[in-house]
Amino acid sequence: MTNLLEVRNLSKQFKSSGGPFRKPRAMYAVNDVSFDLAKGRVIGVVGESGCGKSTLARLILRLIEPSTGSLRFDGDDLRAKSPAAMRRLRADMQMVFQDPYSAIDPRYTITRALIEPFVVQGRYTIGTADQEVSELLTLVGLSPGLASSFPHQISGGQKQRVGIARALALRPRLLVLDEPTASLDVSVQAQIISLLEKLRDDLGLTYLFISHDLSLVRYFCDEILVMYLGRVVEVLPETDATVRHPYTATLMDSTFAPDPRQRRIIAPLEGEVPSPFDQPPGCAFADRCPRATAICRSETPVLSTAFGHAVACHNPL
């Protein structure tokens, strides 16, 4: 298997400049993240708000410039690309965004939104445009009759399908899915997930799937990265791999089963994700961790495969 995407030591530091009334502050939104994504696979990135999963998606697509680290897409060094070359390459790596409601220009019809990718990439030909649009709409399970609608005339689920169609217009190889179902109703969420599964099989796509929903990620992905405050704390090579990191275990405990016979008696771990600013040394999870020892507060654990798969923990389960 060849790797479509190779991410090495990727970091992004955000700095807020100081002023007369505040100190300058800095935080790592993404801190030293490395992973490989093989062609045709689906990697899930899971974590709570502020863990850096959405920033990671944007760093990979260079919508945000990384501070350090390297990115290779199909063997090409992405960070060495000129702006013009990067613009051309974007056709190969597309993204589906979380909020379908603001993902389409309110002044654009569906047709215009779906033609835009071709216009932007200089591949627009007047004769074939209508056919392309109706093929794309059919591909994502929408009626070609919707083509002349405006975004406010269609439902959230339909908007997200248009978002997927637009992302697929240029026949990309990598699709980054940033919480594509988070703002949709449950019944519609399942539709979109099943559409994405079908498209992966039919078009041979590679997915990076970002979500806060562990059960969804376990259902949809081949491999899972668990993130906490900008770092990958555990890489589950299979969705049913034994959990080693206490944070992943907390996440599992917090995910409710849709079955009244499986009620959880034990209260989950207390505490919340701390502020990413001015992090003390050591493991970011140490304050909430039931297994924390002295070393956890002095030394930041690194990913190590000593326990079967990659875990960043001094006292793994």
Tell me whether residue 183 or residue 300 sits nearer to other proteins (CB atom).
183
- Count residues binding other proteins (CB under 8 A): 73
Q: Is 31:37 a contact under the CB 8 Å cutoff?
A: no
What is the DSSP code (8-state) at residue 268?
A: P
Q: What's the closest the beta carbon of residue 48 comes to other proteins, in angstroms? A: 4
Matching residue, tokens 């199909």: 74
Q: Is 283 in the site for other proteins (CB under 8 A)?
A: no
Q: Smallest Cα–Cα separation from 235: which of 168, 307, 180? A: 307
Which 163-192 positions form the footprint of other proteins (CB under 8 A)?
163, 166, 170, 183, 185-192
Query: Do 283 and 313 touch, CB atoms closer than 8 A?
Result: yes
The answer to whether residues 170 and 203 touch, using CB atoms and an 8 Å cutoff, is no
The tokens of 301 are what? 């654990």
Which residues in the 292-311 window bind other proteins by CB under 8 A? none
> Restricting to residues 149-168, which ones interact with other proteins according to CB under 8 A?
152, 155, 157-158, 163, 166
For the bound state, the minimum distance from the C-beta of residue 200 to other proteins, rounded and expressed in Å, comes to: 14
Cα–Cα dist 295/283, whole Å: 9
- C-alpha distances in angstroms, 118 versus 83, 121, 171? 18, 5, 11
Query: How far is 194 from 282, CA to CA, in rounded Å?
Result: 41
- 74, 116, 135, 222: which one contacts other proteins (CB under 8 A)? 116
Of 32 and 193, nearer to other proteins (C-beta) is 193
Site for other proteins in 43-62 (CB under 8 A): 48-49, 61
CB 157 → other proteins: shortest distance, Å? 6
Pick from 213, 241, 279, 315: which binds other proteins (CB under 8 A)?
213
Pairing status of strand 76-77 against strand 231-236? unpaired
Q: Which of residues 56-95 bind other proteins (CB under 8 A)?
A: 61, 63, 86-91, 94-95
User: Is 246 an interacting residue with respect to other proteins (CB under 8 A)?
Assistant: no
Give the residue among 101, 97, 99 at the shortest CA–CA distance from 151.
Answer: 101
Would you give the binding string for other proteins spanning residues 6-45, x where CB under 8 A is met? ----------------------------------------
